[in-house]
Every structure is written in C-alpha cells, then in structure tokens.
Amino acid sequence: MTKMRFGALLGVALWALWSVAFVAPANALLPPSHIVFLSTGSAEIRQAGDNVLREVASTFHKIGIKARVFIGAHTDSAEAQSLSATLSSERGTAAKQRLIELGIPADRIWISVYGDSRPWVITPAGSPQPQNRRAEIVVALPE
C-alpha cells in the first residue's frame, strides 16, 4: 500500500472516529456543528469566532426559547501539559458569555470540558494543532 493511499485511509478512519466520539443529543440540529477556533493559550474570541457565535444565536432564536445549546471546549496537546482543564473551561465560558450577550438565556447553555482528550487532528504528544484549539457548539431542538 502506498503512503498516499495509507494516508487517505487513515484520514477517513480518523474522521469516522471523530464523528462517533462527538456525541450530540439525538435532537441536535446536525449539521452544522458550529466551531470556534482559538489561539494558543487563549480563550479570547476573535472576529471569525464571533461571527460563528452570531450564527449560533440566530439558529437558537429561530428555534425558540426552549432550544438548548451545548458547547464542547477543547485544547491541543501542547496546551494540555499544564493548562488543559482550566483553558478548556475558560474557552467554554467565553463562548457561553458571548452567547448570553447575544440573547441566549444562560440556563439554555451547557458546557462540557474535554481538554485534549478529543482531538480533531491526531498529533504527537505536546504538538500544537490549531484545529484542536476549539469550542464546538451544537443547537438542539426542544424536547
């Protein structure tokens, strides 16, 4: 098997694993899962991330007040060495705070903190990976 073909197969396998690992509620509006990417060591929401959060708020308001928002907060493995849980929590809290500012009630937003335990891109330990520094947001229909 060539390296290129192996790489393609590995990519498909990793995507399948990721899609199984991220378990959204059965009534979630998928796709899309909204994703906010963050800078190394930071929980600051940049303009591109703010645009994503505005989309989330718009989706929430279209569904109605009984919708729910789930935030999965992540770090990459380089950040995980010392900051993982704290930084993940700060990222989730920053996204939640901005959603509250955009009119979503706080009691409709839940945060799960994952650190580097659910990478989007598999990397060697301690390697920085921008796609792993993220907050994934799912808007779920009312029960």
For residue range 104-131, what is the model confidence (pLDDT) as tens digits?
999 999 999 988 888 888 877 777 787 8
Q: Spell out the domains of the chain, with CATH numbers in brackets.
A: 25-140 (3.30.1330.60)
Mean pLDDT of the chain: 79
Write the secondary structure of the chain as one string of H (helix), E (strand) and C (coil).
CCHHHHHHHHHHHHHHHHHHHCCCCCCECCCCCEEEECCCCCCCCCHHHHHHHHHHHHHHHHHCCCCEEEEEEECCHHHHCCCHHHHHHHHHHHHHHHHHHCCCCHHHEEEEEEECCCCCCCCCCCCCCHHHCEEEEEEECCC
* pLDDT at position 78: 81
Give the global pTM.
Answer: 0.75
